[in-house]
A = this chain, B = another copy of it.
Amino acid sequence: MQNQKLFNVAVVGATGAVGEQIIKLLEERNFPVNRLKLLASSKSAGLKLKFKGQDIIVEEATPESFKDVDIALFSAGGAISKELVPHAVRSGAVCIDNTNAFRMDPETPLIVPEVNMDKINEHKGIIANPNCSTIQMVAALKPLYDRYGIDRIIVSTYQAVSGAGSKAIAETMRQSKEILEGNDPEPQILPVGSLPVKHQIAFNAIPQIDKFEDNGFTLEEMKMIRETQKIMGDDSLKVTATCVRIPVVYGHSESVYVELKNDFEIEDVRSLLSDAPGVVVVDDPANQRYPLATDAAGKLDVFVGRIRKDLYNNRALNMWIVSDNLLKGAAWNAVQIAEYIAIQQ
C-alpha cells in the first residue's frame, strides 16, 4: 500500500478462528499498522500472540478498550459486538463488524468490496461484513446481475465446520477419530452451541446452521436471503437457501441455480466470471477440474465451476461456488474493507 499514515488497529476476538486469520492478513498484506491491540474475553486475556515477529499480549475487551483506536475489527460474536461496537464508535474508531449484529441496520452499509464498495462511505462508524456463505455467492453473482439481471437464486450450501469456530473444528476431528476407532462420539457443539440438541457432524450432513425462524428457515438461510438483497441493493431479488453443515474443515461450497432476466450464452457467462475481480473460474469437466473446498482452503479468491445452462429454462444456469469461509468469507473481506478505509485517509 502507498499510504503513509499508520493506524491503531484493534482486533476483537483475536484468539478466535477468524481473529487469527485477520492478524495473519494484516501482517501478510503489510497493513499500515501503528499499534495493534488484540482483544478477547477475560478467559483469553494474558495470552501472547505474534505479529510481525513481536509478542502482543491479548487484553480483555471492555468499553474502555478503544481509546486512540482508528480501526476496530470485530469477530467475537453478535452479543459482544452489540455491547462494544457503540463504545468503539464513540471513541472515534471505524468498526468493521464481522457479526450479525448490525448487518440489517439501515444505517450500516453491508459491504463486499467487489460488489458494493460504492456504499462504504455511507457508514456512520460501523461497516458490516456479511455472512460467509453470502459473501462468496454475491461475489460470483454480481457480474451476472450487472450484465443480465437476476430474477431468482436457489442455493444449497455445503458449509465447513470452521464457520462455527475453533471448537467445532476440534469436535469434528475428535468425532472422526472416535468413529474410526469404532466408538460412538458424543456430540457437544454442533449444530448450534447455544441450543440444547447436538448432532454428530463427523460422517454426516446437518441441515441446520443457526437457530430456526418461525417461517421454517434457519437464521443462516435468512441471512443469505436478506443480505443478498441488501448487498445487491434489490429487495425484489428472490432468494431461497438451504444451509447445511458438512464435515469439511475449511471452505464453503455452494450449489447455486440462477434465473437471469435476459437470455445469455454460457460461454459469455464463463468469460464474464473469468474477468470478475476476486473470482477464479475452475471449470474443465473433461479434465475433472472444478472448485474443491480442499483447494480453496488458504486462498483469498472465490472459485466458480460446474457452470452449465439449465436444460429446461433458457434463462437459468447452475454453478458451484467455493471459497475459504474464514478468508473471503470473513477475515479477508474485513481486511479488504480496512485497506479501503486506510487508503482514503
Contacts and interface: CB of A to CB of B under 8 A. Distances in A.
A207 B204 CA distance: 17
A292 B246 contact: no
A126 interface: no
Interface stretch (A31-39, A43-51, A141-149, A310-318): A310-318
Given A180-B173, A312-B239, A293 B154 contact: no
15 contacts: A152-B312, A158-B246, A176-B176, A177-B180, A196-B288, A199-B292, A203-B247, A204-B293, A212-B285, A216-B285, A216-B308, A240-B310, A242-B306, A247-B247, A247-B248
B216 A242 contact: no
A294 B203 contact: yes
B288 A195 contact: yes
Given A240-B310, A285-B212, A311-B215, A255 B200 contact: no
Nearest to A252: B205
Contacts of A244: 158, 253, 255
A71 interface: no
Given A207-B305, A242-B320, A311-B215, A294 B173 contact: no
A238 interface: yes
Which one of A204, A290, A291, A293 has the greatest number of beta carbons of chain B within 10 Å?
Answer: A204
A206 B292 contact: yes
B238 A255 contact: no
Contacts of A154: 154, 257
Contacts of A290: 207-208
Contact of A246 (B246, B305, B306, B308): B246
A191 interface: yes
Contacts of A192: 288
A271 interface: no
Contact of A216 (B206, B309, B316): B309
Contacts of A239: 312
Nearest to A212: B285
B257 A240 contact: yes
A200 B158 CA distance: 16
Interface in A146-201: 152, 154, 156, 158, 173, 176-177, 180, 191-192, 195-197, 199-200
Contacts of A195: 288
B217 A308 contact: yes
A168 to B, nearest CB: 13
Contacts of A309: 215-216
A155 B336 CA distance: 35
Given A191-B288, A286-B212, A288-B199, A248 B177 contact: no
Residue among A192, A266, A306 with the highest chain B CB neighbour number at 10 A: A306
A289 B212 CA distance: 11
A180 to B, nearest CB: 5
A156 to B, nearest CB: 4
B207 A240 contact: no
Contacts of A310: 240
A88 interface: no
A4 interface: no
A225 interface: yes
Contacts of A255: 156, 207, 242, 244, 255
